């Protein structure tokens, strides 16, 4: 599946002066990508999503829902619906990439202002840094568990900070390898994703066949009953679970222009994402819930971590294959989803001092400092608290971007003004107060009611009060992404009504 046609006439090719060389708001990483360098095809976008979806955290999304009481049908329905929903804003924000060749933080300048764009960019960068740390910890942990099974004794090593030093070693080695790959640039990432995607899919299928064989076939897995039924108990898990699933990819719904700016045209990004995201995530969810249900049949407890499950085998070849699969899967998603965005976002913060590669290194350092091992300690904390809050904040930013680009601008941007002071996107000192007002309002409504649930022992599983940060907003917390996106989209469109600036010179 490839696209051989040249970019459509609707795409713009940056001309000399589009992003002035002496502008303090531009560097080589932030300038528009020339048409000749927009080479990503439909297959490249499909492979990108397959590589990102087939990872341990997305596996634990589905298996975590099973661990919380859903059966396989309920979990797959929740994840499939979430990814169809999040695909919408993904395609809407991705449109600016092939058309103008600009990354997310530059697109955000149109709505937040040339300086104000640092607000959503830093929110996105902070989330990505946390995700980078989570993925790197999970990858290092996977290598630790599997190598420990092969060589033995790793878990008995001296402890540092509560964990064996051998686990810290795996974590650091994995961290260094990731940054070494991204240092080579976006084209290397594209090639890596092309072959990583099918390899990881094969690994997931192998794990499914193995557990089905131990469970006595697929029949027992498909007939495992739901512990929450379809009544009130189901809806208590479904809605926060749905928002958590949306929150998982709400990160990419913001910074997808970082990738689509390299696309040959709108057809490549629309088809590639539509074929790659919802179908892949739903299929992967089906495999993960079946495997988790199988683990409960075989071992008497739902094992929602695929690394821990793979570690149950004593077959050396199987362990080595699982080790390579974990390695490839985690690097595939972590580089694409969690390094590219903050690298651009941090470059936007100080274009003359921070390059894409420097931003990647900063991301790696912050990803360690956030102590990612605490964020994935329980499915309650992972799905309800972490993903719910992230989804609420990022949904608020997405609503503003969509309203500005599609309703206020009608997809027409003055690219040059995105890189200069005093132009149409300068607003008040480089900030658009209307965008900030919409962001703050949507953000408070989306996450102000965030609360912590109780774990199986009846203890609080999270940092928030059980009755919510702002108690009267608690009912909105389970719908954080939708509340944030809807509120900010409508409010920003209303505040900007009649203020659309027509195309043409506006610099003073």
CA distance 428 to 26: 20
How far apart, in whole angstroms, are the C-alpha atoms of residue 218 and residue 240? 29
For residue 269, give both structure tokens.
């990004």
Estimate the crossing angle of helix 232-255 against helix 56-67, to 10 degrees. Answer: 170
* Matching residue, tokens 């590669």: 357
pLDDT classification of 502: cutoffs 50, 70, 90 = very low
265 HSE (CA, 13 A, CB side): 11
Average pLDDT over residues 411-437: 94
Q: What is the DSSP letter of 154?
A: G
Tell me the pLDDT tens digit for each residue of 325-383. Answer: 777 777 777 777 788 778 888 888 888 888 878 888 888 888 888 777 766 555 555 55
Note the pTM of the prediction, 2 decimals: 0.80
Cβ partners under 8 Å of residue 336, min gap 6: 48, 51, 52, 189, 193, 259
- 8 Å CB contact between 481 and 247: yes
Q: Quote the CA–CA distance of 72 and 78 in Å, as a whole number.
A: 10
What values do phi and psi take at 421, rounded to 5? -85, 150
- Tens of pLDDT, residue by residue over 249-298, are 777 888 899 999 999 889 999 999 999 888 888 888 788 777 777 777 78
Per residue in 157-168, pLDDT (tens digit) is 888 877 888 888
- The pLDDT score that the predictor gives to residue 506 is 43
Query: Out of 64-68, 350-354, 481-485, which region has the weakest mean confidence (pLDDT)?
Result: 64-68
Evaluate if residue 425 carries a pLDDT over 90: yes
**Whole-number Å distance between alpha carbons of 1 and 214:** 37
How many Cβ atoms from other residues are within 10 Å of residue 163's Cβ? 15
Residue 263 per-residue DSSP state: B
């Amino acid at each position: 599946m490839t696209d051989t046609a040249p970019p459509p006439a609707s795409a713009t090719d940056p001309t000399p002066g589009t992003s002035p060389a002496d502008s303090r708001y531009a560097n080589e990483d932030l300038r528009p990508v020339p048409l000749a360098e927009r080479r990503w095809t439909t297959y490249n976008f499909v492979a990108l999503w397959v590589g990102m979806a087939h990872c341990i955290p997305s596996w634990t999304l589905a298996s975590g829902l099973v661990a919380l009481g859903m059966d396989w049908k309920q979990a797959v329905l929740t994840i499939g619906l979430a990814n169809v929903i999040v695909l919408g804003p993904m395609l809407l924000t991705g449109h600016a990439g092939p058309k103008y060749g600009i990354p997310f933080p530059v697109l955000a300048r149109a709505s937040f202002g040339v300086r104000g764009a640092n607000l959503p960019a830093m929110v996105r960068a902070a989330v990505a840094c946390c995700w980078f740390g989570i993925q790197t910890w999970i990858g290092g942990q996977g290598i630790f568990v599997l190598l420990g099974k092969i060589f033995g004794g790793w878990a008995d090593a001296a402890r540092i900070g509560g964990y064996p030093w051998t686990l810290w070693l795996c974590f650091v080695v994995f961290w260094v390898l990731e940054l070494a790959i991204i240092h080579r640039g976006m084209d290397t990432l594209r090639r890596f994703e092309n072959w990583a995607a099918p390899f990881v899919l094969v690994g997931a299928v192998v794990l499914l066949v193995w557990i089905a064989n131990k469970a006595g076939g697929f029949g027992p897995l498909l007939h495992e009953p739901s512990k929450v039924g379809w009544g009130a108990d189901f809806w208590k898990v479904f809605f926060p679970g749905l928002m958590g699933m949306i929150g998982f990819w709400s990160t990419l719904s913001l910074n997808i222009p970082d990738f689509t700016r390299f696309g040959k045209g709108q057809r490549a990004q629309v088809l590639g994402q539509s074929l790659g995201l919802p179908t892949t995530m739903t299929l992967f969810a089906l495999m993960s819930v079946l495997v988790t249900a199988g683990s409960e049949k075989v071992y008497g407890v739902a094992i929602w971590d695929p690394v821990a499950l793979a570690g149950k085998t004593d077959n050396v070849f199987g362990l080595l294959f699982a080790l390579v699969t974990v390695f490839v899967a985690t690097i595939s998603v972590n580089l694409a989803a969690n390094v590219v965005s903050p690298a651009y976002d941090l470059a936007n913060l100080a274009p003359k001092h921070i390059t894409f590669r420097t931003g990647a290194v900063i991301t790696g350092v912050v990803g360690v400092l956030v102590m990612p091992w605490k964020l994935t300690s329980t499915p309650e904390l992972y799905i309800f608290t972490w993903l719910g809050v992230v989804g609420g904040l990022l949904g608020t930013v997405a609503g503003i971007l969509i309203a500005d680009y599609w309703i206020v601008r009608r997809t027409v941007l003055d690219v040059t003004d995105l890189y200069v002071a005093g132009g149409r996107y300068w607003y008040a000192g480089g900030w658009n107060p209307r965008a900030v007002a919409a962001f703050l309002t949507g953000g408070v409504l989306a996450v102000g009611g965030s609360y912590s649930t109780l774990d199986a022992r009846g203890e609080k599983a999270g940092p928030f009060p059980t009755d919510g940060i702002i108690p009267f907003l608690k009912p909105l917390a389970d719908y954080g992404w939708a509340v944030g996106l809807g509120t900010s989209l409508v409010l920003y469109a209303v505040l900007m009504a009649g203020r659309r600036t027509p195309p043409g010179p506006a610099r003073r």
